[in-house]
Amino acid sequence: MKRNLIASALLSVALASCATTSEMPLAPNMVRLDTNASGLIFTSAAGAITMKKAAEATLKRGYTHFRLEQAQTAQGSRFVGMNTNTSGFGQASVYGNTAYGSYSGSSFSTPMYAPTAQIGVTVVMFHANEAGAKGAFDAADVLAKKGKV
């Protein structure tokens, strides 16, 4: 019974897991990325997801390097559902043409929450020969590492 409860909770949290990144152009060499992640798997990967998206945006626009500015992060949780368990006992007796019955039961519900993470960052992009590229992230290298830098 306890295993079913735990399995049900884990399944609900897994189903409520996802990560999305929105991209807003600010200038030819600048974009704003906002990543929203929920669930254990995606909240721990939110940083890598954001870095990978920054590298993709940089290369897509013809630049080779990028820096991150105005970074903001937040963590929390959100309600994803209730896990309810009900059990009971019923009894019936028949006397002639009449049936008599009774039922006794109980139930309990447990709220389930999924962790969340939000990352907002401004990506400033540079060509390899520009002064701003010195010490900046190499987009091709970040993409090859799948954002795990």
How many residues make up the chain in this entry? 149
CA terminus-to-terminus distance, the chain:
43
pLDDT at 18 > cutoff 90: no
Strand partners, 23: 33
Closest CA to 55 of 134, 133, 149, 147: 147
pLDDT at 63 > cutoff 90: yes
Q: 99: helix, coil or strand?
A: strand
Residue 78 pLDDT class (50, 70, 90 cuts): confident
Measured in whole angstroms, how far is the alpha carbon of residue 53 from the centre of its chain?
15
Q: For residue 148, what are its two tokens? A: 């795990």
pLDDT at 4 > cutoff 70: no
Predicted pLDDT of residue 2 = 57
pLDDT at 102 > cutoff 80: yes
Strand partners, 69: 122
Predicted pLDDT of residue 149 = 83
Strand partners, 79: 113
Q: Which residues contact 97 (CB under 8 A, 6 or more apart)?
A: none
Closest CA to 111 of 79, 85, 78, 87: 79
